[in-house]
Amino acid sequence: MNKPFPEECNPFYHHYIDLVTETNSIDALENSGRNLLHTLRTLPDHKGKHAYAEGKWSINDLLQHMIDSEIVFLYRALRIARGDKTPLAGFEQDDYVIAAQADYKPLGELIKQFSQTRELTVSLFKGFDPNSETNSGIANGGEISLRALAFIISGHCQHHHTILKERYL
């Protein structure tokens, strides 16, 4: 899938799409996942509970947020790829982080979950009908295309990877 046009999603997501330098969605998904995992695998498990400031998410929280968000985006992509026009609800990321209790999980387990989630994401996007890339649906109150979701997933990963490197490490 090629990069989406700006009108294929809510302007809120343009920042994520703009972070992606690849023009092919599969390359973008594979590279952003591989790059994040390379950084994460250098961290000792005890670093998972580290937050860069009082009241900010820990590394575990950040990674759990990335896993949860990717699963939500992937679910949206599956529904849209299959032509489902049912409007899809948004989600409150802070509520998800609180409920996930990520600091009770080992960082290594969260890294494994992210790796498995990204592997599934890539596999599903590879398997979508190429003619469905411009399929669109309603998610979180706005129209979004399948290919926009692929680049949003990759850009969201890159966004948080940058935050991880700049603020946590």
Residues 39-70 pLDDT 10s: 999 999 999 999 999 999 999 999 999 999 99
pLDDT value of position 124? 98
* Residue 4: predicted pLDDT: 97
Please list, in sequence order, all residues whose beta carbon lies within 8 angstroms of the beta carbon of residue 131, skipping any fewer than 6 positions away. none
- CB contact at 8 A, 13 and 161: no
pLDDT for residue 97: 97
110-165 confidence digits (pLDDT tens): 999 999 999 999 999 999 999 999 999 999 999 999 999 999 999 999 999 999 99
Over residues 93-103, the pLDDT tens digits come to 999 999 999 99
> Residue 3: its pLDDT value, please?
96
Task: Grade residue 2 by pLDDT with cuts at 50, 70 and 90.
Answer: very high
Report the percentage of the chain scoring pLDDT > 90: 100
C-alpha span between 2 and 169 (Å, rounded)? 33
pLDDT of amino acid 140: 95
Which residue ranges form the domains of the chain, and what is each CATH number?
6-168 (1.20.120.450)
What lies within 8 Å, CB to CB, of 112 at 6+ separation is: none
Using an 8 Å Cβ cutoff, are 167 and 52 in contact?
yes
pLDDT at residue 17, as a whole number: 98
Strands, E, within 33-160: which ranges? 136-139, 142-145
From CA 24, how far away is CA 150, in angstroms rounded?
A: 9
* Residue 121: both structure tokens together: 């994401």
